[in-house]
Amino acid sequence: MNNITLTIDGVSVSVPQGSTVLDAAKSAGVRIPTLCYLSGINEIGACRMCVVDTGARALQASCVLPAAEGMTVKTNTPAVREARRVNLELLLSNHDKKCLSCVRSTSCELQNLCNEYGVSDENRFEGSVTPTQIDEVSPSIVRNNAKCILCRRCVAVCEKIQHVGVIGAVNRGFNTAIESPFGEALSNTACINCGQCIAVCPTGALTEKDDTDKVWAALNDETKYVVVQPAPAVRAALGEEFGIPMGTSVTGKMACSLRRLGFDKVFDVDFGADLTIMEEATELIGRVTKGGVLPMITSCSPGWIKFCETNYPDFLPNLSSCKSPHEMEGAMIKTYYAEKNGIDPKSIVVVSVMPCTAKKFEAARPELGHDGMADVDVVITTRELARMIRQAGIDFASLPDEDFDKLLGESTGAGVIFGATGGVMEAALRTAYETITGKTLDAVEFKAVRGLEGIKEAELDLDGLKVKVAVAHSTGMAAHLLDQIRSGEKEGLTFIEVMACPGGCVNGGGQPIVSPDEREKHDPRTLRAQALYQEDKGKLLRKSHENPEIKQIYADFLGEPNGHKSHELLHTSYQKRTKY
Amino acid sequence: MSVLENKDMLNQLDQVIAKYKGQKGAVMQSLQDAQEIFGHVPKDVQIHIAEGLGVTLSEVYGVATFYSQFALEPRGRFIVGVCMGTACYVRGAKNVLDKMVAATGTPVGKTSEDGRFTIRDTRCLGACGLAPVIMINDDVYGRLVPDDVPGIVDKYKEL
């Protein structure tokens, strides 16, 4: 393919044919500001922030302008700077500008660009204002159209990456709004609560439903025994909220901060993950040996579960009946742990810290509990935990490392890697191999199921037993894989892992916000996953069934995996849902 | 009751979807033809189009709300469009519209209680030489003065 040579701000660059001027500017070391642009999925030239001077009659949007041979582009002229500033001022004329009370303050791209471009009067243009509409019916996601700049990044990720497509641009001209069809609340649509829309929103138009008040109230209630459990992926990203470089695991500081917040016990969902593997690997072996429904598909990701219930109900028998790790652990806290310590389970409040907004929806599912108690009472995201830590005046970065509490806090490397795409698969294989073959697995790392390829497939030899497995991340990729199975194009798979978010939980909708600029420099999916794989490597025990607390819970309480008690407390069922 | 319970109409809609499926602009075309069949494009019809074409309801609804020609609610037998384009406006279209509202007893944007008339103020109809102009379904009336309106309306009251 021929290269194109052009000049950008006096720098000559050669770029492949088909590149845009925005692409070319990057290789010239020039940063052009963008708002609506999301590489590969939303290149629509709508916001006009990326305008440049090419010598043409008018300034042009560089994100949709093909680079041409001999082109001379100026990105930093008085006219360009003024155009960008006026653009921002016009956006502000229909923006609520309540930055002081906005959770996205300082991580807001609109706010940052206003600062950069020297917007000195946020009320320069006053005109019609769209009436504020806040949709907060969903347990997971809040939409505030008064902060929406109509960039359509949420629309693009919802439709193109997740294949959910429950929001879009409606009406026309000044009345244009991003909404669900027929003005439905998000919770009345096929929204899977994954929160990927929040992760790409440049402003505070899309945020998580904040449940920190519920946690503060519980912590302040002396009659309550408040237990917290953070998910594997939280430790790989929480540090970013406090200036610690991306990809640093902050497990010890996190445990310490939770204790200082006042939780009575600090347990770890990594334990729940190990427990999940015991149940799930046993279920898989059962299905393989007794002729059950195959391929079996993982059930840890609540976004994926709702997606499957809504769009692929014919695959419900394929879903593992295992509850997700934090739900399992919640059930164990309110039975096993309560019994052992003589605590009234009704006084226990289980708080899960999750990289995920869909977990809020999951925790509210009526079937996930027993005796009138929910397994998990409150779910907060990584971002909400960071907010609590800041409010409590805890200097996170300087905290010492502490350990989790005993009985439900011990974990193996297998539990840790749940947070990365392929992690559940790998953890299950480690245990399944040893259970099926009776031999010790020395090479515990199944590299074929790691990494960011949309659908990963591997054929494994479990001591003579050939097993074909697949891993899909993002519900769009899951849909693609299931379509292939439906059509018969893909056959013979035994086990499938699906995570609703691209990259798995490390890139969940509840994780610290990473701007598109930063994402181009370093991929949070890779760096955060590396932190987990590193932690796995450093663990003495790397197989779930070797976890001493897991052995203890089966000996003391559960009996055996997939036994009677497990089925009562650790397994669940699914329901077909309507799409509209 | 869903309009899709009419098997004949449903059949026609399915033919429309089959005709446009996979083509560029299929959503727009299907909505247009669906409106011909049903008179308007309610939610059930939009869902049927989305499922049939394999696109999201968001996309269909986005198109349906972008173009003012699509009606989501049932419309009257006679769609009265009073042109508010510049030429018509300066030649007294507003007075024609007021008279139309009075003669039909129907506010702008609404449908008369007997389901006979839907009154709309429209953008330029492209007949500026006849300004001020109105359209009732496919019939065009030009060079109007307000007093012409009751007679025209009466004609349609008898149809």
- From A169's Cα to the closest Cα of chain B, the distance in A is 6
Query: What is the phi-psi region of residue A48: left when phi exceeds 0, alpha when psi lies from -120 to 50, beta otherwise?
Result: left
Instruction: Evaluate the CA torsion angle A408, A412, A416, A421 in order and state its sign.
Output: negative
Instruction: Tell whether the model's pLDDT for residue A135 goes beyond 80.
Output: yes
- B85 and B49 housed in the same domain: no
- For this structure, is A367 an active site residue? yes
Q: Pick the closest to residue A343 from A265, A261, A230 (CA basis).
A: A265
- B31 and B101 housed in the same domain: no
Q: Are A259 and A399 in contact (CB under 8 A)?
A: no
What residues does A60 pair with on adjacent strands?
A52
For B55-69, what is each residue's pLDDT tens digit? 999 999 999 999 988
Can you read off the two tokens belonging to residue A266?
Answer: 């600090």
pLDDT attached to residue A82: 97
- B56 and B92 housed in the same domain: no
- B82 and B48 housed in the same domain: no
Burial letters for A15-33: b for 16+ Cβ neighbours within 10 Å, e otherwise?
beeebbbbbbbbebebebb
Burial letters for B74-94: b for 16+ Cβ neighbours within 10 Å, e otherwise?
ebbebbbbbbbbebbbebebe
Q: Which of A253, A359, A456, A490 is catalytic?
A: A359
- B52 and B98 housed in the same domain: no
Which residues form the domain of A272? 213-569
Q: Check which CATH number belongs to the domain holding B112 and give it.
A: 3.40.30.10
- From A580's Cα to the closest Cα of chain B, the distance in A is 8
**Is there a domain that residue A469 lies in?**
yes
Q: Which of A151, A191, A197, A300 is catalytic?
A: A300
| Number of domains observed in the structure of chain A | 3
What residues does B80 pair with on adjacent strands?
B119, B136
**Is there a domain that residue A279 lies in?**
yes
- For this structure, is A518 an active site residue? no
Can you read off the two tokens belonging to residue A26?
Answer: 């990057």
- B10 and B32 housed in the same domain: yes
- For this structure, is A222 an active site residue? no
Domain endpoint, select from B66, B86, B105:
B66
Mean pLDDT across chain A = 96
- B108 and B55 housed in the same domain: no
**Is there a domain that residue A195 lies in?**
yes
- A288 and A436 housed in the same domain: yes
pLDDT attached to residue A462: 82
Domain endpoint, select from B66, B87, B105:
B66
| Band (A466; pLDDT cuts 50, 70, 90) | confident
Write the residue in A168, A180, A182 that is nearest to B59 by C-beta. Answer: A168
For A84-116, what is each residue's pLDDT tens digit? 999 999 999 999 999 999 999 999 999 999 999
- A49 vs A59: CA distance, rounded Å: 11
Chain A residues within 8 Å of chain B (Cβ atoms): 155, 159, 165-172, 180-182, 580
Q: Are B49 and B30 in contact (CB under 8 A)?
A: yes
Domain endpoint, select from A167, A191, A208:
A208
- B99 and B154 housed in the same domain: yes
B66 touches chain A (CB under 8 A): yes
Residues with Cβ within 8 Å of A77's Cβ and at least 6 positions away in sequence, in order, are A53
**Is there a domain that residue B72 lies in?**
no
| Band (A48; pLDDT cuts 50, 70, 90) | very high
Instruction: Tell whether the model's pLDDT for residue A1 goes beyond 70.
Output: no
Q: Check which CATH number belongs to the domain holding A196 and give it.
A: 3.30.70.20
- From B91's Cα to the closest Cα of chain A, the distance in A is 27
Q: What would the mean pLDDT of A168-188 be, rounded to a whole number?
A: 96
Which residues form the domain of B22? 3-66
Write the residue in A159, A171, A172 that is nearest to B56 by C-beta. Answer: A159
**Is there a domain that residue B46 lies in?**
yes
B60 touches chain A (CB under 8 A): yes
**Is there a domain that residue A442 lies in?**
yes
Interface test with B, best of A164, A175, A182 (most B CBs within 10 A): A182
- Angle, alpha carbons A535-A259-A225 (nearest 5°): 120
Q: Check which CATH number belongs to the domain holding A340 and give it.
A: 3.40.50.1780
**Is there a domain that residue B71 lies in?**
no
Which long-range contacts (C-beta less than 8 Å, at least 24 apart) are formed by A573-577? A573/A321, A573/A367, A574/A305, A574/A308, A574/A309, A574/A316, A574/A319, A575/A309, A576/A309, A576/A313, A576/A316, A577/A190, A577/A306, A577/A309, A577/A310, A577/A313
What residues does B135 pair with on adjacent strands?
B81, B140
- B85 and B153 housed in the same domain: yes
**Is there a domain that residue A109 lies in?**
no
Overall size of chain A counted in residues: 580
Tell me whether residues A165 and B59 touch, CB distance under 8 A: yes
| Number of domains observed in the structure of chain B | 2
Q: Pick the closest to residue A136 from A171, A81, A185 (CA basis).
A: A185
Q: Are A292 and A284 in contact (CB under 8 A)?
A: no
Domain endpoint, select from A35, A51, A76:
A76
- A312 and A460 housed in the same domain: yes
Write the residue in B61, B66, B68 that is nearest to A181 by C-beta. Answer: B61
Q: Say what the ipTM of the complex is.
A: 0.92
- A45 and A187 housed in the same domain: no
Instruction: Tell whether the model's pLDDT for residue B82 goes beyond 70.
Output: yes
